[in-house]
Amino acid sequence: MPAPPIPNLPNPRADHDDSFFQGKNWLSASINRLIDAITPKCRENTRILSQGMDAPLPLLIRLRLRMHFLMCCYCKRYAAQLRYIRKASRAFPQYCGNVVTATLPDAVKERMKTLLRREAGER
């Protein structure tokens, strides 16, 4: 017999949920429904958030995302992680020397020097 599908709702709390509504159930139930109705779905948000890394988003979209983050720690994390990846990527060239330890082979260095000397001489 196939296993029954796991129901996604009601919303189980994520570990270390630090969203605003954590613990405020009476408030969150009604507002969650409202926010859910007027903000894009999580899946769509991942696209919007990626676009937001490359071009400024319209104000209305940004407001909606903000509201969505109030009730969804996952999208909030996703947004933070895109920034995390960007920061890490920008730091990569600075630190990659520790990981990439290759050096130019001596023969290549000699070849370059010869070529460059000739080029410099012609200048």
Partner 1 sequence: MDSDDSMPPRERTGPLRKVDPDRWVDEHGDYLYRYALVRVRTPEVAQDLVQDTFLGAIRGLDKFAGRSSERSWLFSILKNKIIDHYRALGREITFTDLEFCKGEYAEKFVPEGDWVHVDGPKKWKPEVEEVVHRNEFWQTMRGCLAGLPQRVAEVFMLREMEEVSSKEICSKLSITERNLWVMLHRARMTLRECLEMNWFTDKPGKK
Among 44, 62, 63, 66, binds partner 1 (CB under 8 A): 44
User: Which span sits near partner 1 by CB under 8 A: 21-29, 59-67, 72-80?
Assistant: 72-80
Instruction: Give me the least distance between CB of 40 and partner 1, in Å please.
Output: 8
Tokens for 31?
Answer: 């507002």
25 near partner 1, judged by CB under 8 A: no
Q: Helices 42-52 and 59-71 meet at what angle, rounded to 10?
A: 130
Task: Report how far residue 13's alpha carbon sits from residue 22's, in angstroms, rounded to the nearest whole number.
Answer: 8
Express the helix, strand and coil content of the chain in percent, nearest 5 each: 65, 0, 35
31 near partner 1, judged by CB under 8 A: no
Task: Report how far residue 51's alpha carbon sits from residue 79's, in angstroms, rounded to the nearest whole number.
Answer: 11
Among 1, 16, 26, 37, binds partner 1 (CB under 8 A): 16
User: Which span sits near partner 1 by CB under 8 A: 26-34, 58-66, 113-121?
Assistant: 113-121
| Number of shown-chain residues binding partner 1 (CB under 8 A) | 58
Query: Which amino acid is it at 90?
Result: R
